[in-house]
Structure 1
Amino acid sequence: MYQEITYAVDGPSAIITMNRPEQLNAWTDSMGDEIRQAFHQAEHDDTIVGIIFTGADRAFCSGADLSLLDNIVDGGRPDGSNITPPGDNTLDAGYRQTYSYIASIRKPVIAAIHGACVGMAIPIALFCDLRFATPKAFFMTAFSQRGLIAEWGSSWLLPRMVGNANAMDMLLSSRRVYAEEAKQMGMINRICEQDQLISQAKDYIADLAQHCSPYSMAIIKRQLHQDWMNSLDDAQKNAEDLMLKSFAGDNFKEGVAAILEKRAPNFPPLQLGDND
């Protein structure tokens, strides 16, 4: 089914792997199309609680493939796919764009990063919910060294993740930022040894599957992305409306029952229709 990625399921985890190892998983338009399809597949699979997004072999993603860059130099446009992105279509249109749709996926998405995360791969990784990285993983914007600008929302994402001063440094210099410094900046959540990277991501999702409501996680993701651009007053009003709805839902009843009965909760899966 897929040519430039692989898709696997392990318990509650779906693993989407960019699979062009000879090119360090450099991004192509066809890879982008397959990744959209894979995210849609995982999001609509009731058995999947969380998604791991990673790269094969030595790198996460080395940025745009040279063929894609050559096409742009010749007057082409990057990633001209007409595939409707998956994810929560109630979010602002900014979360429905070429790569930002990853943030709107209604299940937790962990970027498992090793080796190079370069150029356009940085906003792609930052649109994921969590980032686990190996000690030798490095982040390099590269835009200023290619005669480009801060692409694909980088100028919006990076300051919110790492602060304006660190974002300015990374974007102006295009220097390499390794995992330890990236963690200190707040860009990544966890540093894992190479041989434990995927297993730790799976363990994280397994813990979510055992203890957390898929419905709650989907709503919390929506709140975080919406309220990032709202006033505190709007955020609180929205939370109150959602809270009242949650009180009447089966997930809340099950969560309370699990506490009272001193057992693990048995939350229903997140069910999405064909048009969601």
Structure 2
Amino acid sequence: MDLHVTETSKEDGVAIVRLSRPGRGNSWTKRMNEEYRWLMASHDADPEVRVIVVTGAGRQFCVGADFKALDHYVDAKQDYVESTNAQVLPQPGHGVREEFDHEMVWHWGLQKPVIAAINGACAGIAVALASFCDLRYAVSGAKLTTSTPRLGLPAEYGLAWILPRIVGLTHAMDILISGRVLVAEEADRMGWLNGVFEAETFESRIMQIAKDLAKTTSPIAVKTAKRQVYAELLSANVGAAVEDSKRLIGELMKAPDYLEGVKSMQERRAPAFAALAAP
């Protein structure tokens, strides 16, 4: 696919995906959604890639939906749901669980961990995108807002479901009904972020985290844990979670990564885990 509003690169087992609309705040469009999904599917299938980092070009992450697109729906006769469903898109992360086969939730069906590196303003749909990533880090002072209450819109793309599960009901209600602007440090205190780094070191810190994950963790173990977490998030049966984890332990103990992990610890060296097969 020809990339017009995204960029990508690979380094030491880490794929970097950049939302890139210079001068438009990396605002979200149908084209960006298509390119982003295609890139994520490609990297998830690439055995050289073990971790995916999503960030923005320049000094912004994504300021939300492009206002020209939003304005289109003021007078348009076309139904919003029909227009979004009509677009034929790549389907990364699909086929794992029926619940994951939806916009943004598909991140949970990916084999590989996804880090949202929020390098600047993050608004609207971008908050949902980051919320469905596995880890979130932001640059110090970055501004975040759902913005929808101030546009006369509801909580979008699953935020009413996912935010209370990340930050708790009290903080989620604050964020979703006020639409106010938070800075990264407040979002970190709420528990939405895994960390906040200064601008001067932000990119290097993110890459260090991503490369450490790529070098030191078993891809099959990470994939399995990721699937466990999101599956159990949808379940209220703790006993079933325990029994399922025992079954998975038995399965992974027969896989090569377990033997390599034990040997590397005994020999006091870094593990050399095999790449995942394409999904």
Report if TM-score (shorter chain) is over 0.5.
Answer: yes
Q: CA RMSD in A?
A: 1.3
Greater shift, 70-79 or 139-148, is seen at 70-79
* Deviation (angstroms), 1:70: 2.5
Q: Within 2, Cα distance between the matches of 1:261 and 1:158? A: 43
Aligned-pair CA distance for 1:269? 0.6
**Unaligned residue ranges in structure 1 (runs of 5+):** none
TM-score, scaled relative to structure 2: 0.94
1:181 aligns with 2:177: no
- How far has the Cα of 1:195 moved from its partner? 2.9
Task: Render the CA deviation track for 1:67-121: whole Å, top value 9, x for unaligned.
Answer: 2212333134364432242125222x23221222123221111111122111111
Q: Give the corresponding residue for 2:51.
A: 50
Task: Check the 8 A contact 1:21/1:58 in 2, yes or no.
Answer: no
Q: CA deviation at 1:248?
A: 0.9
Hey, what does 1:240 align to over in structure 2?
Answer: 246
SS in 2 for 1:64: coil
Superposed, 1:189-208 pairs within 5 Å as 189-208=194-213
Aligned twin of 2:158: 153
Greater shift, 65-74 or 217-226, is seen at 65-74
1:250 alignment counterpart: 256
Output aligned runs, 1:1-276, within 5 Å. Answer: 1-73=2-74, 74=76, 75-77=78-80, 79-80=84-85, 81-87=87-93, 89-91=95-97, 93-230=98-235, 231-272=237-278, 276=279
User: Hey, what's the Cα distance between the residues in 1 that align with 2:65 and 2:275?
Assistant: 36
> Secondary structure in 2 aligned to 1:22?
coil
Structure 2 distance, partners of 1:52, 1:137, is 17
Q: What is the rounded CA distance, in whole Å, between the counterparts of 1:197 and 1:95 in structure 2? A: 31
Deviates more, 1:3-12 or 1:98-107: 98-107
4+ residue segments displaced more than 6 Å: none
Q: Which segments of 5 or more consecutive residues in structure 2 lack a partner in the other structure?
A: none
Equivalent-residue separation in structure 2 for 1:216 and 1:88 (angstroms): 20
Range that drifts further, 147-156 or 204-213: 204-213
Distance 2:99 2:88 in 1: 16
| Cα distance change, pair 126–9 in 1 and its aligned pair in 2 (3 A) | same
Aligned partner letter, 1:135: S
User: Aligned partner of 2:213: which letter?
Assistant: L
Indicate the SS of the match to 1:34.
Answer: helix
Shift of 1:180: 0.8
Identity %, equivalent residues: 34
Would the alpha carbon gap of residues 195 and 96 (structure 1) be closer, same or farther in structure 2, given more than 3 Å must change? Answer: farther
Q: TM-score, normalised to structure 1's length?
A: 0.95
Q: Tell me the matched-pair count.
A: 272
